[in-house]
């Protein structure tokens, strides 16, 4: 009789503990696979289908189409740039022909769409980009130390506190293209592009294409 009673008590305790665990697992905000997360992932994946043709299956980018890699970049910066394209701060200049390719893809997205798209992109793995520009790395380091390190950091990781994007992980051709765009007034000239305009006085200190290629070579070594 004592053995049977002891068994019943142990069984009740086990069931009680199991019930508590299940309740904890199913509590709002504690599930590892919430339904709304799955919906968000699927929506982001669906939205990315319009990006694949240019930016690649995993956001690796395609130089032939002048489409940069996305997989290495911070989500806050991707969101800001997508909003800039949507609101006309990017692709503002008539000569920004590659930037203007983005406009039809982004103009009808809501801010929530952009959030979910960026969330999906952030799941992509990143591989170090190949380096094809062969500049003077020593001069590049000197230029980077003088002009770039204060905002983009010693390792090119960027600083969210001052809204400076990550440079490390970018493709060299894209870095060169964007620096040239700043130099030529193609980027950062929209009246409302507060962060982009901060680059203008910096790039004006570059000594032509040589400094651009040298600093890009150094960034690719980080």
Predicted pLDDT of residue 102 = 96
Neighbours of 95 (CB within 10 A): 11
Predicted pLDDT of residue 2 = 42
d(CA 12, CA 181): 71
Those residues with Cβ within 8 angstroms of residue 80's Cβ, 6 or more apart along the chain or in another chain: 163, 195
What does the pLDDT profile of the chain (222 residues) look like in tens digits?
444 434 333 333 333 434 434 433 443 333 445 555 556 689 999 999 999 999 999 999 999 999 999 999 999 999 999 999 999 999 999 999 999 999 999 999 999 999 999 999 999 999 889 999 999 999 999 999 999 999 999 999 999 999 999 999 999 999 999 999 999 999 999 999 999 999 999 999 999 999 999 999 999 999
Predicted pLDDT of residue 37 = 55
| Domains in the chain with CATH codes | 36-121 (1.10.760.10), 137-221 (1.10.760.10)
d(CA 21, CA 134): 59
- pTM attached to this predicted model: 0.82
């Amino acid at each position: 009789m004592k053995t049977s009673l002891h068994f019943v008590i142990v069984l009740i305790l086990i069931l009680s503990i199991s019930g508590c665990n299940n309740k904890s697992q199913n509590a709002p905000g504690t599930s590892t696979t919430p339904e709304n997360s799955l919906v968000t992932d699927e929506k982001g994946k669906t939205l990315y289908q319009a990006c694949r043709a240019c930016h690649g299956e995993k956001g690796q980018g395609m130089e032939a189409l002048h489409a940069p890699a996305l997989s290495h970049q911070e989500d806050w910066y991707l969101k800001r740039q997508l909003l800039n394209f949507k609101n006309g701060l990017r692709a503002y200049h008539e000569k920004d022909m590659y930037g203007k390719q983005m406009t039809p893809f982004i103009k009808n997205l809501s801010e929530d769409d952009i959030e979910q798209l960026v969330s999906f992109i952030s799941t992509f793995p990143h591989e170090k980009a190949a380096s094809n520009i062969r500049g003077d790395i020593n001069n590049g380091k000197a230029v980077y130390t003088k002009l770039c390190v204060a905002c983009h950091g010693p390792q090119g990781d960027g600083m969210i506190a001052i809204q400076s994007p990550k440079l490390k992980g970018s493709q060299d051709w894209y870095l060169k293209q964007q620096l040239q765009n700043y130099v030529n007034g193609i980027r950062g000239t929209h009246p409302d592009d507060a962060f982009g305009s901060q680059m203008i006085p910096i790039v004006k200190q570059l000594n032509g294409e040589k400094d651009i290629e040298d600093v890009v070579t150094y960034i690719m070594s980080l």
